[in-house]
Amino acid sequence: MRGLSKRWIQHNQVALYAVAVLFAIGLGLGVPGASSVLEPLINPVLAVLLYVTFLEIPFVRIRRAFRNGRFMGAALGMNFVVVPVVVFGLTRFLPQEPALLVGAFMVLLTPCIDYVITFTELGGGDSEQITAATPALMLIQLVLLPLYLWLFMGQQVAEFIGAGPFIEAFVVIIAIPLSLAWATEYFAERSTRGEMWQDAMGWLPVPMMGVTLFVIIASQLPRVQDSIGQVASVVPIYVAFLIIMPLLGRLAAGILGMDVGESRSLVFTSVTRNSLVVLPLALALPSGYSLAPAVVVTQTIVELSGMVILTRVVPSKLVPDTAGQSLSLDGVQGG
């Protein structure tokens, strides 16, 4: 019965996410005061989501994934070399309003380190590779985001982005859940009670993603609502990013001869952004940049809508199953 329940949840997860989003929109628009109650819950909810997500991945396989230098190099190259070039080009089409630009830069220049794991699994990718790359992605964006903001916007904006919030986010959202998941798996192998706990947690990833969407959207929607006209100008840029980066990730995977699982993982890490983690940074910006959080939240909504499509398109069209064979450049060019 428990297995059937879990399968039902996984099979109907898109519908469950849609219900969570609709409830969040209703609460955000109908009870704006709920924002102050829900906003402090963002990091704790994210931490629980990552804990139950990490529990789905055997850590012995993650240790092997750390030794895959090809994937690690490709993930870092796509996120910290290719993405900044694409983002700089796309933002030339935005109104040159500092608050608008800083929000777009903050969210698009930071690779996702949380629900990318979930979407990679949904898209049939190698989630162990993504999980292994997460610490490097988080630490490098900590260093490079101020540098990119300085290059693209000037020193004044870069000085607002301190290391403290990023370090706190890494500890609370990544390090603690990862350590707890590791400890849970360790005890599950040696204790019946631990095994029962791990099994019970197995049906939570989809519900927790729904809770996360609810908390994020309901707490931040009033910010988007108050500046919908200006914020709407970034939507085409976010949509273009969702189209361009999967294609570039697929091309890079083909050039490197990656297998199907690695290729799908590279696509998802190239396109998913760190909106949920940079949101606290955007909220901490000076009052003159009050539009930035709304720009970040808008990316979350656009990206999650796009992920519903990409989790189907990537395995069926962009990186179809080739019986475990590596993808060649000819395969990329020939579709």
String of DSSP letters for 273-284: B-HHHHHHHHHT
**Rounded distance between C-alpha atoms, residue 46 and residue 42, angstroms:** 6
294 has a pLDDT exceeding 90: no
Specify the higher pLDDT residue, 249 or 142. Answer: 249
Confidence of residue 61 (pLDDT cuts 50, 70, 90): low
Residue 54 is predicted with a pLDDT of 78
String of DSSP letters for 201-250: HTT-HHHHHHHHHHHHHHHHHHHHHHTHHHHGGGHHHHHHHHHHHHHHHH
2 has a pLDDT exceeding 60: no
Alpha carbon 3 to chain centroid, angstroms = 27
User: Quick one: 65 exposed, middle or buried, by C-beta within 10 A (0-12, 13-18, 19+)?
Assistant: buried
As a whole number, the mean pLDDT across the chain is: 83
Confidence of residue 325 (pLDDT cuts 50, 70, 90): low
Tell me the range of 7-16, 80-89, 90-99, 156-165 where mean pLDDT is highest. Answer: 80-89
pLDDT of 305-320, one tens digit each? 898 899 999 999 999 9
95 has a pLDDT exceeding 80: yes
Confidence of residue 297 (pLDDT cuts 50, 70, 90): confident
pLDDT of 177-197, one tens digit each? 888 988 998 888 888 888 888
Residue 235 is predicted with a pLDDT of 95
Confidence of residue 204 (pLDDT cuts 50, 70, 90): confident
pLDDT of 151-179, one tens digit each? 998 776 666 665 666 677 777 777 888 88
Among residues 138, 141, 134, the alpha carbon closest in space to that of 120 is found at: 134
Q: Which amino acid type is present at position 275?
A: S
pLDDT of 209-221, one tens digit each? 889 889 988 887 8
**Rounded distance between C-alpha atoms, residue 132 and residue 72, angstroms:** 8
For residue 5, count other CB atoms closer than 10 A to its CB.
10
332 has a pLDDT exceeding 60: no
Residue 233 is predicted with a pLDDT of 92
Residue 331 is predicted with a pLDDT of 45
119 has a pLDDT exceeding 80: yes
pLDDT of 74-86, one tens digit each? 999 999 999 999 9
Specify the higher pLDDT residue, 115 or 99. Answer: 99
